[in-house]
Amino acid sequence: MSAVAILIGLFAAIFFHEAAHFATAKAFGMKVTEFFAGFGPRLWSFRRGETEYGIKLFLPLGGYVKITGMSPMEEVDPSEEHRTYRGSPFWQKSIVVLAGVAANFAFAFLIFYLVFAGLGVPQTESRVGDVITALDDGTPTPASRTDLTAGDLIVAVDGVPTEFWGDLLGELRDKAGVQLEQDVVRDGTSFVTTLTPMERDGRGFVGIAVPDPVTRRFGPVDALSETISIYRDAIEASVNAVGTLLWPPNLLDLFGDAVEGNDPGNTRPVTIVGIVGESSNIFEASGWAGIMSLIAGLNIIVALFNVLPLFPLDGGHFAVAVYEKLRGKPVDVEKLIPLAVGVIMFFISIFLLGLWFDLFGPGLDFG
């Protein structure tokens, strides 16, 4: 089910992207002749007014909208020239070509909000799952020498708040041999216990087992605050990932890794094949919250790639519109055709590179 959900989520990301182009073009009176889900051979369609709606064979690839006059070379009846994309004001063209990007960003924000307010997010509290009494060699653990017991909530270490398990580990990791005071809550009663982490594998170890995660849901206001935070972090991380991927020296290294069979780490491109292949692990680790958050991230990635100022991407169409506005004359699209072919081949090569790693390379790490 998780794999199916990811496929549906990817389709929705691309489909809503195109639907935004369609809706804004219609709103401005532009002539839209086709709106299809998928690509390739037509499976089913119907016509309503001047627009043909339908489904094509390769449905998971998203969809497309055909707006009259997107190309200056397209022949149009002079009586309908005012309804073409090219014949519309600059501000309308800008909104139409950037509407898909805006839709993906908005869709991602909505998904994150629904996760926090509806599904809830699995969180591991700084709670004692169990006390490990001794190591394999019989050495007692620091926790076994305290009053700690399963279920105790460690709220602070030496006065530093530890709301989640990661916070607790962070305070203990580099404190081997250091005596620490832990503020603990048990059944509503607070007390303080003291222990000194021992060194194990180069880190501070106390002998506390990780507890089972709990699902935390947020109220409407708190969910909004959490959504803004994770949304900002997701966009920042996605921008960095896309920038790293597209940086020419990094791309050359990736192709070299593919040829030599090296592990490129998490800098490599990932296709839907790899993501679907990891869907069960994502679901096991984070449940539906993890799957939905991944779908939100896919929307952000789709938006970021489309906003690149490369023709024929949306950002490229916007760049052309800006150029025409500044120069006061249309661009010779014939000169852009080689660029468009080059951009398409470039992204196909990145896709094939990611597919190779997905099929033959090392596993993914979404942690």
CA–CA separation, 18 and 24 (whole Å): 10
Between 255 and 109, whose confidence is greater? 109
pLDDT band at 266 (very low <50, low <70, confident <90, very high): confident
Between 227 and 265, whose confidence is greater? 227
pLDDT digits (tens, 9 = 90+) for 219-247: 999 999 999 999 999 999 999 999 999 99
- Calculate the alpha carbon distances from 239 to 244, 245, 317 in Å: 8, 10, 21
Written as one string, the DSSP assignment of 270-322 is: --HHHHHHTHHHHHHHHHHHHHHHHHHHHHHHHHHHHHSS-TTSHHHHHHHHH
- Calculate the alpha carbon distances from 189 to 149, 150, 186, 212 in Å: 14, 15, 5, 22
pLDDT band at 364 (very low <50, low <70, confident <90, very high): low
Q: How many residues does the structure list for the chain?
A: 367
In the prediction, which pLDDT does 21 show? Answer: 96
Query: Mean pLDDT over residues 148-159, rounded?
Result: 93
Between 338 and 361, whose confidence is greater? 338
Between 62 and 283, whose confidence is greater? 283
CA–CA separation, 253 and 357 (whole Å): 13
In the prediction, which pLDDT does 363 show? Answer: 57
Average pLDDT, rounded, for the chain: 90
In the prediction, which pLDDT does 246 show? Answer: 92
CA–CA separation, 214 and 287 (whole Å): 11
pLDDT digits (tens, 9 = 90+) for 175-217: 999 999 999 999 999 999 999 999 988 889 999 999 988 888 9
CB atoms within 10 A of CB 13: 25
In the prediction, which pLDDT does 278 show? Answer: 83
**Phi (first) and psi of residue 273, to 5 degrees:** -65, -45
Query: Hey, what are 87's tokens?
Result: 């014949």
**Is the C-alpha dihedral spanning 297, 301, 304, 307 positive or negative?**
negative
Between 263 and 241, whose confidence is greater? 241
pLDDT band at 319 (very low <50, low <70, confident <90, very high): very high
